[in-house]
Amino acid sequence: MINPSKPPAPGNPVQAAPHRLDHPGLPATVWVAGLGWLTPQRREELLALLSSDEHQRLRRWRQSDDQDRFLLGRGLLRQRLGEAMGLEPARLRFRLGPQGKPALEGLGSQDTLQFNLAHSGALVLLALHPERPVGVDVECQRPGLNWRPIARRHLPSGCLEVLEALPPGEQLSGFLQHWCRLEAGLKATGLGLAAAGAPPPPGLELHDLRLPEGYAGSLAVI
């Protein structure tokens, strides 16, 4: 089921402080933050929360924007999870599932808290649910993207025809919204693009997100 309802979008995405997405009817909490919010002081505060493994992963990114997206995502994740569970963010531990999807570790019954991160352009998104698997995806529009071969290869049958029937100025944004739905659903299941053609799991809900102009996003909950 896809819920395309969209309330007003927030302002400048680059400077956006972490905030909950104001979207009535969402079955999970979605947090949004912009890279411009990362001042030097805030960078230091978030760096202090990361594990040694996360610091190693951070250093592997060569571009500063990529480093900032990773830092903001992991820092926001630790802060919000710690807040939700009443624990110190820096003490949280994570494990990787069979398909590489991270999950909490060592917290007993609280391990059921589900989360997922996504980032693109200047935005970082975090989805949280107390127990249902979640997936979230965001995509920044890139002018000139050759989206048709991607749609033909990965999107469900008939999507390409639907997109090509749109006015030319709406085709790229339409493709990105379909892509976000696909990615969010796959991330909720913990599967990769190889499973893109498989039937959706029972109970899958897809919700389009209202994001700043130039961005598409979707939330999936199982």
Series of mean pLDDT values for 10-residue runs along the chain (222 residues)? 40 82 91 95 97 96 95 97 93 82 73 89 96 95 92 91 95 96 93 74 94 95 96
pLDDT for the residue 111: 61
pLDDT for the residue 97: 74
pLDDT for the residue 109: 56
Q: Give the Å distances, CA to CA, from 197 to 61, 118, 122, 186.
A: 31, 22, 30, 10
Closest CA to 159 of 142, 184, 140, 177: 177
Phi and psi (nearest 5°) for 162? Answer: -65, -45
Print burial letters for 128-143: b (CB count within 10 Å at least 16), e (below 16): bbeeebbbbbbbbeee
